[in-house]
């Protein structure tokens, strides 16, 4: 049973395209995180949100608590955005941190 | 300032041997997590330390796994009698306060463990 589901699993886009990655979860949460993992690299936290919407540069993250759904958008995608994007949730109870399996994004010049 | 550091970066061991993996969190961070990322799999929670409180060990996959955190800073993850299925990247993360419900986590580069 996966508490966090992401889609798509793999995504290839042309440079400049608008990209959306989706995350659905099944538990009550106190926060949702979007993480970025470059090939061979470490993990960087992009956003932490518990409601509404956050924007950082070309990245936008939204969350709908009632629908248990979040989206990560990348505007004007660039090859350097190529990475695995991981959705993770912090449930209301306990100290667990549930991860999605990630979306592998490739942006072609 | 310095980020989260982990050592060694790579570890190759023989089945049945014990290994110790080290994590140095960001100075002053009270929350520390260990995760595991197996090949082709998602990240998996292992253990959580918060200050001087008893750790949350609910994610440890077997009693061969243990971890300690000395002085509220450096943490060591120990795997006894390693098995091939223990091969994975072991990641450490720290955060300033209470962890993922309130804080951004800062991840280390990971230790790649290969059990032959």
pLDDT at A76: 96
Q: What percent of chain B has pLDDT over 70?
A: 95
Q: Do residues A40 and B9 touch, judged by C-beta distance below 8 A?
A: no
Secondary structure letter of residue B85 according to DSSP? G
pLDDT at A95: 75
- Chain B residues lying within 8 Å of A86, measured CB to CB: 42-43
CB contacts under 8 A, A 66-95 vs B, are 86, 88, 90, 94-95
Report CA dihedral (B14, B15, B18, B21) to the nearest 10 degrees: 70
pLDDT at B76: 97
**pLDDT greater than 80 at residue A45:** yes
Interatomic CA distance for residues A95 and B105, integer angstroms = 13
Which of B23, B32, B42, B60 is best to mutate for the A interface (most A CBs within 10 A)?
A: B42
pLDDT at B61: 93
SS (H, E, C) B27-70: CCCCEEEEEEECCCCCEEEEEEEECCCCCECCCCCCCCEEEEEH
Q: What are the residues facing B49 on neighbouring strands?
A: B32
- Chain B residues lying within 8 Å of A96, measured CB to CB: 45, 56, 58-59
Which helix or strand (DSSP H or E) is residue A37 part of?
strand A29-37
Mean pLDDT confidence for B71-82: 93
Do the chains contact at A30 and B102, CB–CB below 8 Å?
yes
Mind listing the pLDDT tens digit for each residue in A52-103? 999 999 999 999 999 999 999 999 999 999 999 999 998 888 777 899 999 9
- Chain A residues lying within 8 Å of B43, measured CB to CB: 86, 88, 99
Interatomic CA distance for residues A15 and A23, integer angstroms = 23
Chain B residue at shortest CA distance from A6: B42
Interatomic CA distance for residues B90 and B74, integer angstroms = 15
Interatomic CA distance for residues A22 and B84, integer angstroms = 34
H-type alpha helices, chain A? none
**pLDDT greater than 90 at residue A104:** yes
Mind listing the pLDDT tens digit for each residue in B84-113? 999 999 999 998 876 666 678 899 999 999
């Amino acid at each position: 049973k996966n508490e966090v589901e992401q889609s798509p699993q793999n995504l290839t886009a042309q440079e400049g395209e608008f990209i959306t990655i989706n995350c659905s979860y099944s538990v009550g949460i106190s926060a949702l995180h979007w993480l970025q993992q470059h090939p061979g690299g470490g993990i960087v936290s992009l956003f932490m949100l518990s409601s509404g919407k956050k924007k950082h540069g070309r990245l936008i993250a939204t969350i709908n608590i009632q629908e248990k759904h979040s989206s990560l958008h990348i505007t004007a995608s660039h090859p350097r955005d190529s990475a695995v994007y991981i959705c993770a949730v912090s449930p209301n109870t306990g100290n667990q941190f549930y991860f999605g399996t990630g979306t592998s994004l490739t942006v072609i010049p | 300032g310095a980020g989260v550091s982990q050592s060694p970066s790579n570890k190759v061991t023989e089945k049945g041997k014990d290994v110790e993996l080290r994590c140095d969190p960001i100075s002053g961070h009270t929350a520390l997590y260990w995760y595991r990322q197996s090949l082709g799999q998602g990240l998996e929670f292992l253990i959580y330390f918060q200050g001087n409180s008893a750790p949350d060990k609910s994610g440890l996959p077997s009693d061969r796994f243990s971890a300690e955190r000395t002085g509220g800073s450096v943490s060591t993850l120990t795997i006894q009698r390693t098995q091939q299925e223990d091969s994975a990247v072991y990641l450490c993360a720290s955060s300033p306060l209470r962890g993922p419900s309130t804080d951004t986590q800062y991840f280390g580069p990971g230790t790649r463990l290969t059990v032959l």
